[in-house]
Amino acid sequence: MTSRFGLALSELGIVLDAIDPDEIAAACEMIATAGRIVAYGCGREGLQLRGLVMRLHHLGLRAAMQGDMAAPPVGKGDLLLVSAGPGELPTVTALMRIARDAGAEVLFVTAQPRTPSAVFATRVLTIPAQTMASDRGEAATSILPMGSLFEGAMFLLFEIMVLDLRGRLGVSPEDMRARHTNLE
């Protein structure tokens, strides 16, 4: 392994170890008990959420990405899962308000838990990693560019959450595989 790989893996490990296990457990409980789950994130964060939504489908949950044509409305008993690593993204904030007004719960994934938008969240899941908002000057702490540390941590965190959810929901690996598309 080259030193850049080792450094990047070390940075990811430090971030993941710093995530509050109680926040992870609470997030998994919200997901496991939601009627419908709709997720939204901008850019590469949205891609990580798209991967999680796919796994939630494999777990047998009703999950979709906001903006897709088959995205359902949200209301009481449902969950909007949103990500804004830098804290404030106007679209994310607007969707959080709409979901709360409709009676849905909101799970907000961010590196900035004290951002003003957090007031619209039912729960905040903090990933304490460099984002595009903190990748310059003295604030820059990662070898990885822009928000890659946050996005990489999202991927690994979500995969660990899927393992937790699999146990909570009593879903076997075979059950998950049976829900995977056969059209590849």
Our CA dihedral for 42, 57, 26, 112, rounded to 10 degrees, sits at -10
Catalytic residue among 105, 151, 159, 174: 151
Residue where the block lists tokens 């310059």: 136
End-to-end Cα separation, the chain, in angstroms: 32
| Phi and psi, residue 50, nearest 5° | -60, -40
151 catalytic per annotation: yes
Question: Which pair of tokens denotes residue 121?
Answer: 């969240």
Q: Name the strands in the sheet holding 123-126, side by side, starting at the edge strand that comes first in the sequence.
A: 63-65, 37-41, 79-83, 105-110, 123-126
Residues designated as active site: 151
